[in-house]
Structure 1
Amino acid sequence: MQARNPSDSYTMMTEIVLPNDTNVFGNLMGGRLMYWMDIAAAIAAQRHCNAPVVTASVDNISFENPIKLGNTVHIEAKVSRAFNTSMEVHLKVWGEDFTQQFKYKSNEAYYTFVALDPNRRPRVVPPLTPETEEEKRLYEGALHRRQVRLILGGKMKPDEAAELKALFFTKHD
């Protein structure tokens, strides 16, 4: 299976914030944004593996700045690491205010997807080869984020997370 680059999965999704998308303060509802982010991330994951995918986890969503009614939302997504049957997708969300003519960062998150075969069973995905310094940084950190997800999900014991433990403990001679 041939390795893919993060740029092969790059997805940009753009939406406009309409009244039905907002809360009583005129801000984009977090749930609506997470819905749009899930779509963008799924497209990126499918581009990487050329197969249908399902969302396995959503973590580390940070809400930095609200996006107001009438503003435009830009969601950038690309695969940050591929494991055996799963892929981590990194997302950045930008708001754009056309009347004030500025663009601002709103959110960042990681979603995990599992690729499926025709029988809806997990299938192997292509490996990922990062190219840029940012892609390499995200790639390296993905192993640690995965181990945290597995521990929190009860699928890994903390003692089994060797790479994660190495961040906190050093060997003494």
Structure 2
Amino acid sequence: MEGKRVSESRTYMTDLVLPPDTNLHGTIFGGRVMAYVDKIASITAMRHCRKAVVTASSDSLDFLAPIKVGEAIQLEAFVTWTHHTSMEIFCRIQSENLMTGEKRLTATSYLTFVALDEDGKPAIVPPILPEVDEEWWHYNTAAERRETRLKRRKDRAAAEISYAH
């Protein structure tokens, strides 16, 4: 299967943070950010494999700074690595003060998606072809993140079995 460049599926999304999107502190709800992240990552994964996808894992969502009411939330997502039927997606979340133009990194996230065929079974995905330094960094560090995910899944399954007895 022919590989695809990261740029072919890179996705951007911008929205205005309004009062109903915010908590008592006037900052965006974390759950709202999570929904945006899952949505943009889904679009990115589908663009890469041109198939239906499901979220298999949300490895991390690290909140670094708040996004305030009246600011724009800007998300960027791209495929960092592929395995046989899965894709790792990185998402960068920024805020923009629309009055000053100041932008600030507010969160980052890694997610894993599995491509599905017409029968809902896992489907093979094209390999990813990194081109620039940032893409290569994510690509070169992805195998370690995958091992951590697999270990976490195995450990949780073993814990569930022991709790059941």
Aligned partner letter, 2:113 = F
The equivalent residue for 2:92 is 92
The equivalent residue for 2:77 is 77
The equivalent residue for 2:115 is 115
> In structure 2, what is the Cα distance between the partners aligned to 1:63 and 1:100?
22
The equivalent residue for 1:170 is none
Instruction: Give secondary structure in 2 for the equivalent of 1:131.
Output: coil
> In structure 1, what is the Cα distance between the partners aligned to 2:145 and 2:14?
27
> In structure 2, what is the Cα distance between the partners aligned to 1:59 and 1:97?
29
> In structure 2, what is the Cα distance between the partners aligned to 1:93 and 1:128?
22
The equivalent residue for 1:37 is 37
> In structure 2, what is the Cα distance between the partners aligned to 1:51 and 1:155?
30
The equivalent residue for 1:11 is 11
1:149 matched to 2:142? The reply is: no
Instruction: Give secondary structure in 2 for the equivalent of 1:153.
Output: helix
Q: Kindly report which structure 2 residues correspond to 1:18-33, keeping only aligned pairs within 5 A, or say none.
A: 18-33=18-33
Query: Which 5+ residue runs of structure 1 have no aligned equivalent?
Result: 157-173
- How many residue pairs get aligned? The number is 156
> In structure 1, what is the Cα distance between the partners aligned to 2:71 and 2:123?
39
The alpha carbon displacement at 1:155 in A equals: 7.6
1:59 matched to 2:59? The reply is: yes
TM-score, reference length from structure 1: 0.87
> In structure 2, what is the Cα distance between the partners aligned to 1:104 and 1:35?
20
Q: Kindly report which structure 2 residues correspond to 1:150-165, keeping only aligned pairs within 5 A, or say none.
A: 150-154=150-154
The alpha carbon displacement at 1:148 in A equals: 0.2
Instruction: Give secondary structure in 1 for the equivalent of 2:51.
Output: coil
TM-score, reference length from structure 2: 0.92
The alpha carbon displacement at 1:19 in A equals: 1.2
Per-residue deviation, residues 56-115 of structure 1 (Å, max 9, x unmatched)? 011121111100011101100000001100000011011001123311111111010000
